[in-house]
Amino acid sequence: MAESANPSNVPAPPHSMSHEGGGGRMGGAPGAALPPLEAALHYPFQQPDLLRAALIHRSYLHDVPEGAAESNERLEFLGDAVLGFVVARRLYLRHPDKPEGQLTNMRGALVRLSQLSAWGAALDLGRYLYLSKGEEVQGGRERPTIIGRAMEALLGALYLDGGLEAVDAVLGRFLDETTESQVAAVLTADYKSQLQRAVQARSKSAPQYRLVDTSGPDHALEFTVEVWAEDRMLGCGLGRSKQQAEQAAAHAGLQALEDTPDGTPDGTPPVIPPETV
């Protein structure tokens, strides 16, 4: 098993708070008792303060005396690195036939905040968070970004408590339930974001999408969309909806940029049909 935390390095927990939850708190919005969360994880923490520390949102610090607690942001930083490694190792071992580029894309789909939020929601992580009273009133326990970052911090806490073996056991259950088609769906939905980042890395302009044709009967319309960057057409996409056609055009644009590293497509820009998106 990998190294675990030295107790002296465990982040400071909320003062006057037992492992059973929010009794005796000095302020803020209490989280629920933690044993059900450990049961859901199938992992009993050897250092319960690590689990608590992973659940402390920075807003909580506004409602408690200075120095009474530390936010989960440092554990989130650690969890991000651990998550990337564990996911990359699993993908490498399970997909010996896939090249580096595909593995990178798959890892990107699995480590994004929206995926972490979904896993955190499956654990009902929001009910265990330490928040300020104001954040709780504003719906912080259901906020996907807060839940996703707490999930990342939880992975950092798992690593410090039980090493990579603990992280792999907990994270592995979520990864096993995530199918390749779900990963592909996430990647497909993100072609526009990927293209925007790629174009803006080369120029200050954002991609522009133009609907150039609509054909077919009303019950089976097909849309054709071109994507342009400044005065250059990067690609063309077809789809059963304008949104799908835009994603297809973005996919084509990405292919064009990959084929021409200087960002200037040569010849005829690629066309992506709807069945490939």
**Residue 137: burial class (beta carbons within 10 Å; 0-12, 13-18, 19+):** exposed
- Is the alpha carbon torsion for 190, 151, 3, 10 positive or negative? positive
For the record, the structure tokens of 250 come out as 């973005």
From CA 171, how far away is CA 148, in angstroms rounded? 14
Q: Which helix (H) or strand (E) holds 149?
A: helix 144-176
Residues in the chain: 277
Which is nearest to 125 in space by CA: 85, 155, 101, 103?
Answer: 155
Catalytic one of 38, 73, 80, 222:
80
Residues in contact with 142: Cβ distance below 8 Å, sequence separation at least 6, in sequence order:
126
Catalytic (active site) residue 177: no
Catalytic (active site) residue 180: no
Catalytic one of 152, 168, 190, 246:
152
Catalytic site positions: 80, 152
